[in-house]
Structure 1
């Protein structure tokens, strides 16, 4: 892995009128943390995770394996990180019609992890890009454009060649069932029966397809919904606890604090100050 390197131009580096390199980072190390950007960054973000992290949306929380890339569009919010270990990532902020057009042409997915067997190329292209744009007065638009186009095509080729794990429809239905019925009392035996597996085998298969156990998946979704409900100051902690399926407010507060590092009330206060 390359030595940590970051570039934030004094102003966005324009390349003709169709491409703008805003910032890039190579092998940036992060403390135990979870990044939450509800408004995104207003540009395209390509992020390669070198360690296992969690990627969160309102609908689900995924455990992303190491050597995985996620692409976000300008309007996307970002929720990712690992609060248990120090982790590292490489990233590129860019914008312009060239990015939008090429992503569409190559049919690259956004907001979902793309796993790579050999992702070394990612840092190699970022390093080449860094050397090309670090001195803005000497930027050659043709070279930068070519680097970006080859970079995106390399991602596409690696993505197309990657081995994909197909999720059976019955497991996809069970995941949707958890998301839609998170406020109900759900038993493992019930889910295993839906999949026609024993409970132990069902748990193994569920984690294989979705990166976490069914209980942890349900817990993560409930707590994610709770963070959204906590932004509604008209609701009490007790009401929110009941709405996500926990009659015991004290238990809800304990598991919330364990996950987010603060009680629901203190978490709510910190967000209202922003």
Structure 2
């Protein structure tokens, strides 16, 4: 390890920190109570970069390695951080991290807190702190970091801070849920993805597809297909398909003047009374009651 250690001070770096008294005032806003970025930066070619926090940080830390490589140490174990990997360090977790002198990293980083921040920080399995990022996701999260920098400059203004927080929420959501290198539903290299099956179901809402039909479309045995589908969505294939149909039925009830009979046929049920029973079981009210409910109450139903 190089005897030279720098916490910051890199050429062309970006570093924005919200003064803590201002931060305390911002936390009272309900939109910032959920997720609040507190510090953010860009350290390009950060040779000799090194940071040690014996008691951890009060916020969760996200570091995105764009080029070069670095390392981190938690619980006495040192591990690498490669190009196009993200490092998540939970709050109050003692840690050390830095870069290699021969191939210094360039990193985007952000500290964040809030009621929903723990959810993102602990999405990784225990004792796992890094995740790979797919090339197309790299482009998206880079653009989102750059958007954060632009709005963070005036982050002491409430509207600016809300905008930055919402952008960060999008960034974290993209990293964990729209990243085929990590997100189970989007992976293709390590195991079979069901994305094509989900599109197949969306295009066939007017049909009564059985498990055999779905498994055949995925070119998998029923047992293998059932296991993968539940693993990647949290639903059985049939339950997912029924919920998808009811979600579409809700839209038709809200936005069209089609009769309940017509809507029943549109989602694959010839017997409108059977459709109504399924609809009430899933949504909680009958189709006619749903149609009569004020529009704002329709938001109670989610797939």
**1:47/1:71 contact within 8 Å kept:** yes
1:145 deviates by 4.0
2:110 corresponds in structure 1 to 92
How far did residue 165 of structure 1 move? Answer: 7.4
* Structure 2: unaligned runs, 5 residues or longer: 1-11, 192-303
RMSD between aligned residues: 2.9
TM-score normalised by length of structure 1: 0.51
Q: Distance in 2 between matches of 1:61 and 1:102?
A: 23
Picking from 7, 17, 34, the partner of 1:8 is: 17
CA gap 1:132/1:62 in 2 versus in 1, 3 angstroms = same
Instruction: Give the counterpart of 1:134 among 153, 156, 159.
Output: 153
Pick the aligned partner of 1:150 from 156, 170, 184.
170
Question: Structure 2 residue aligned with 1:47, among 63, 86, 90?
Answer: 63
What is the deviation of 1:164? 7.5
Q: Report the Cα offset of residue 57 of structure 1.
A: 2.9
**Change in 2 beyond 3 A, CA 1:41/1:102:** closer
Which of the numbers 46, 53, 72 marks the counterpart of 2:89? 72
Shift of 1:59: 5.1
User: How far apart are the structure 2 equivalents of 1:163 and 1:36?
Assistant: 37
Structure scoring higher RCO (CA < 8 A, sep ≥ 6) equals 1
Q: Work out the number of aligned pairs and report it.
A: 162
Any gaps of 5 or more consecutive residues in structure 1? Answer: 167-274
Q: CA deviation at 1:138?
A: 5.0
SS of the aligned residue for 2:56 comes to coil
**Distance change >3 Å, CA 81–CA 163, structure 1 → 2:** farther
Greater Rg by CA: 2
TM-score for the superposition, normalised by structure 2:
0.46
Q: In structure 2, do the counterparts of structure 1 residues 22 and 146 end up closer, same or farther at CA, with 3 Å as the change threshold?
A: closer
Q: CA contact under 8 A between 2:88 and 2:129: conserved in structure 1? A: yes
CA change 1:130–1:58 in 2 (3 A) is: same
